[in-house]
Chains A and B, each alone.
Chain A
Amino acid sequence: MRGNFAKITKILSAGVVAAGLLASASAKAAEDTIKVGILHSLSGTMAISETTLKDVMLMLIDEQNAKGGLLGKKLEAVVVDPASNWPLFAEKARELISKDKVAAVFGCWTSVSRKSVLPVFSELDNILFYPVQYEGEESERNVFYTGAAPNQQAIPAVDYLMSADGGSVKRWVLEGTDYVYPRTTNKILEAYLKAKGVPAEDIMVNYTPFGFSDWQTEVSAIKKFGSAGKKTAVVSTVNGDANVPFYKELGNQGIKAEDIPVMAFSVGEEELAGLDTGPLVGHLAAWNYFESVDTPENKKFIDNWHKFIKNDKRTTNDPMEAHYIGFNMWVKAVEKAGTTDPDKVIDAMVGVSVPNLTGGYSTMMPNHHITKPVLIGEIQADGQFETVSQTPGLVMGDEWSDYLPDSKDLISDWRAPLSCGNFNVKTGKCGGKGTN
């Protein structure tokens, strides 16, 4: 009996020693490099968009290492595949932070995937850089939003269409895919349009399911809505795969951009790559970056991208620029803080300013959103966008929309002493009401 016990103790202690050795070994490895997590779907429906972002992160990390790394250490990318499966995003995020001990994570595309990882990041206190334009109504201490908030994309786009240059549009179709981003954006836009004096009968809102492919009824409804003798435009928050059949149907039914322009918020160079853009010339998109922007920084970025991916036909797009900005901001903040400790880096991030690809500087604001210019582009026959309008200055991301009753009194400021993501200026309390 006693012998047995001794044996067990021995085995156990050997195990503990071995485990300790292993732990110290991995701790040693961790000291040599700084790990950066990449949380983008490489399979499933979102792979079409997210794979590119994984590649661009690998490129940026390579470039940083070629410059000598960070804090005297090399950067090491840890790539995981959440497979377009929202709960898996949370699991993989936990794995990256707890097991791989990454210093920061760059990832997510859809809002639902971001929402599913939020609790993980606040629980384990790490950093997420989110590179995609989104619906706003959120500000988290652990998340930095490098994509556009609605006021950095949707509102300026509508303003452009209302202007004389954009065709003085009087009648609006808000066409979207049925999920949180289009629904919230359209809610904001509807409130905004009504505030601008557009009567309710001149606004048509319509939603279609994900991956919708038979657009005949919708396009003919748009045609019908557009024949009321007033200049009509479509504001499209149609997402991903559904765009190609949508544009094909527009082209086939002969809806010309000169008559009914379509302004899209989710169509970039990458989406147009699968399309013959000849019939689509003149339809619009609003982004903070276009591949066609003519600046030395952008030219260098595109050249590097083509070299890295070994294909000079691959396009660049807005979320790629967002990762470019986010990564450079993180590098700068780590250098400023002198450590990769997430807590210290989060505090160091606010106020960091790095060059963007459109010839200016983007700055991280206290609400964890960045400043960006807003560009309106028209689709060209070669599948690129040509900028037809640009905001005169940089636009600051506004997380809580001023046009929604539930969020108009909220602000976010993560600097001490306020340190709050939803401070209600009316009641003077942190923890106001948001619409989610």
Chain B
Amino acid sequence: MASRPWTLPGRVSRPARARSSKPSFTQFRTENRFTLFLELLEKNRLNTTMMMLRTIGLMLLLTMASLLPSQAGEADLRATVGKFAAATGFSATEAVVRELAASGDPSVERPLSALADGNLYIRKADTQVFVGKEAGEGVELLDPLNGEKVADAVKADLTKIKVNNGLRRIIRDALGTLTLRAKDTSVRLAAAATMFKTPDAANMEPLDAAIAAETDTAVKAMFEQARAASVLVSDKPEADKLTAISVIAVRGDRDALSLLTSAEANAQGAVKEAATAAIGQINSTLALWDAGQNIWYGISLGSVLLLAAIGLAITFGVMGVINMAHGEMVMLGAYTTFVVQQVIRTSFPGLFDWSLVIALPLAFLVAALVGLAIERGIIRFLYGRPLETLLATWGVSLILQQAVRTIFGPTNQEVGNPSWMSGSFDIGQLAITWNRLWILVFALLLFGVLLYVMKRTPWGLQMRAVTANRRMAASMGIKTPWVDALTFALGSGIAGIAGVALSQIDNVSPNLGRGYIIDSFMVVVFGGVGNLWGTLVGAFSLGIVNKVLEPYAGAVLGKIVVLVLIILFIQKRPRGLFALKGRAVEA
């Protein structure tokens, strides 16, 4: 970090407040920006993450444009942007980016963010630079500075200006400094975070100005931390650096640790000692958070195991059918989600965030119907013959896999994450991803519903009666064959629902089910056959043990250790954690 070669000289010499205002010009530009802003909002629906950044950038432009009109003449900027056309190679492009950033003019935000998104093009005919916007088959060419539509073009007439990670990083830093005074707090926070990660002595002056103008305490604190980071890499006196270290140490996260480690390596004397002490302190807090994180990962893995196993807990646990095609029911659920999303993408793009909710009942139906067909067609002839059931369902699983492969092809299918399942949030130093959290909630809900069905409904009562004593149940007037069929369908349907959730974190390919079948059996056997609570406890304890072992033993050895532990446990308690008691079990 300390070796960052680049500074922004233009900005430093030109404090923002000193700029004079030219109202008429500003007004004109603001209007244009507003129409564009609306246009971009439209686009935003299609491409959320990328476009959000741009929209935020634009909002900021709106505000900044009215406050501080550009000082470098627009013509100069235009000439600089035009230099992109002549730049060959990343280093030449980088030079132009730096020149643009050095102008300190907020209107360079548009070409720079377009460049970072890979949307800046050169028209082959006249080597002019434009911002491209996809419009159906062709591309709309927008002016790089004011964003007005200039012309239409096809991709073949354009050359895209290439960017790589290094360039993206430089643009991100440049935009960070340009967006320090944005109206939107989240933009200012993002700018502070960027500046914190890439400290630079030249950042101090704009940060000082921003701190003085800041009213939001949270943002102000972030700015001060970013400033402290910059102080560390500057040639300020030792006392300033010591204060900076204490400011950074308060953060206590990995970014702070990273910064302090590099500061420690480059410093001497009291600064080095202070950095070492701060690192030690952060490390000890992080160790605690790490333990918490492992537990959370374990709970999350447990919820996935629970989802995968809960259907099997019914077909295998309650009915005693060794169903090797269980994994394929999960796969069918995942493919149903894929089909639903395809239909939504082509016909009702606005409903995309609801796709999983719509897929849930459909996945249940599809998997339950297939399960019903399997039970009626094959398994009912094989009750009491576990070996044959095992082989027959294994065969069914192969047939289902190959059928899906023939219909959808052998490659992975893309199942998208709805916006409410993307990204993560932090609790202290614990990063929790939304998709894992929702899967946990969903698994517990599903478990609750199933428990209710089994314990509180007449159907559940009949199911349990047939399991406990088939002949007695039959003589009480229960139609045992239909109870069998419906129970199997229920188990399969639940597996289908699990497939909807698992499609969010795993491959949707014909092999999806293969990965879960062994784990599912492991959970059910470990938890105790025939007991739903056993499955719940089994899933979470296996998940947590696995994830706590993983950082020390590695994923491969961790899994082996868990398997060995289960074997030993089954030796000691062959019926699992929660064994059913009573005569029925012996039969």
Contacts and interface: CB of A to CB of B under 8 A. Distances in A.
Given A216-B300, A282-B165, A381-B50, A253 B433 contact: yes
B82 interface: no
B414 A275 contact: yes
A229 B168 contact: no
A167 interface: yes
A214 B304 contact: yes
A320 B214 CA distance: 57
A233 B436 CA distance: 25
Interface string B244-281: 00000000001101111111110000000000000000
A388 B297 CA distance: 36
B556 interface: yes
Interface string A41-82: 011110110011000000000000000000000000000000
Contacts of B304: 213-214
Contact of B411 (A258, A270, A281): A270
Interface string B184-215: 00000000000001000000000000000000
Contacts of A306: none
Given A207-B554, A241-B509, A217 B424 contact: no
Interface in B397-431: 398, 401-402, 405, 409-414, 416-417, 422-424, 431
B49 interface: yes
A83 to B, nearest CB: 10
Interface stretch (B62-70, B469-477, B510-518): B510-518
B123 interface: no
B508 A274 contact: yes
Interface in A162-220: 164-167, 178, 206-209, 211-214, 216-218, 220
A329 interface: no
Nearest to A382: B118
Given A208-B555, A241-B507, A276-B416, A252 B424 contact: yes
Contacts of B433: 216, 249, 252-253
Contacts of A319: none
A227 B514 contact: no
B254 A223 contact: yes
B435 A276 contact: no
Interface string A273-304: 11110110110100000000000000000000
A228 interface: yes
Given A47-B405, A207-B555, A278-B50, A167 B507 contact: no
Nearest to B294: A217
Contacts of B166: 164-167
Nearest to B162: A386
A220 B429 CA distance: 12
A165 B169 CA distance: 12
B165 A229 contact: no
A271 interface: yes
Given A45-B511, A274-B411, A254 B424 contact: yes
Contacts of A274: 411-414, 507-509
A206 B557 CA distance: 11
A52 B409 CA distance: 10
Contacts of B262: 229-230
A205 to B, nearest CB: 10
Nearest to B434: A252
A220 B47 CA distance: 27
A229 B172 contact: no
Contact of B555 (A209, A220, A230, A259): A209
Interface in B515-571: 515, 547, 550-551, 554-556, 559
Contacts of A252: 422-424, 433-436
A378 interface: yes
B505 interface: yes
B168 A258 contact: yes
B293 interface: yes
A217 B297 contact: yes
A241 B511 contact: yes
Contact of A254 (B168, B423, B555): B423
B288 to A, nearest CB: 14
B-side interface size class:
35 or more
B168 A214 contact: no
Contacts of B405: 43, 47
Contacts of B510: 47-48
B265 A216 contact: no
Interface in B144-194: 162, 164-166, 168-169, 172
Contacts of B255: 227
Contact of A278 (B47, B259, B301): B47
A211 B555 contact: no
**Most B-side CB within 10 Å, residue of A227, A228, A229:** A229
B172 A258 contact: yes
B76 interface: no
Chain A contact residues (Cβ within 8 angstroms of B): what range? 35 or more
Contacts of B431: 220, 253-254
A224 interface: yes
Nearest to B2: A229
User: In this complex, which of A167, A213, A273 has the most chain B Cβ atoms within 10 angstroms of its Cβ?
Assistant: A213
A386 B167 CA distance: 14
Max chain B CB contacts within 10 Å: which of A258, A274, A282?
Answer: A258
Contacts of A375: none
B1 interface: yes
A22 interface: no
A370 interface: no
A25 B477 CA distance: 68
Question: Most chain-A CB neighbours within 10 Å: which of B1, B164, B259, B409?
Answer: B164
Given A221-B551, A274-B414, A257 B559 contact: no
B506 interface: yes
B90 interface: yes
B173 to A, nearest CB: 10
A206 B553 CA distance: 10
A388 B414 contact: no
B276 to A, nearest CB: 13
B411 to A, nearest CB: 6
A244 interface: yes
A218 B550 CA distance: 9
A253 B434 CA distance: 10
B424 A253 contact: yes
B417 A48 contact: no
A271 B417 CA distance: 17
Interface string A29-48: 00000000000001111011
A244 B164 contact: no
- With most chain A CB atoms within 10 A of its CB, the pick from B166, B297, B510 is B166
Contact of A218 (B254, B261, B424, B555): B555
A84 to B, nearest CB: 9
A251 B263 CA distance: 29
Nearest to A50: B410
A162 B85 CA distance: 28
Nearest to A244: B507
Interface string A132-171: 0000000000000000000000000000000011110000
Nearest to B258: A227
Interface in A228-245: 228-230, 241, 244-245
A261 interface: yes
Contacts of A279: 49
Given A227-B261, A229-B1, 8 more contacts: A47-B405, A51-B409, A165-B90, A216-B300, A221-B551, A253-B433, A274-B413, A386-B162
14 contacts: A42-B410, A43-B401, A51-B410, A207-B554, A214-B297, A216-B301, A216-B436, A229-B1, A270-B411, A275-B414, A276-B416, A279-B49, A378-B165, A381-B50
The 3 closest A-B pairs by CB, nearest first: A274-B412, A229-B262, A229-B261
Interface of B: 1, 47, 49-50, 90, 117-118, 162, 164-166, 168-169, 172, 197, 254-255, 257-265, 290, 293-294, 297, 300-301, 304, 398, 401-402, 405, 409-414, 416-417, 422-424, 431, 433-436, 505-511, 514-515, 547, 550-551, 554-556, 559
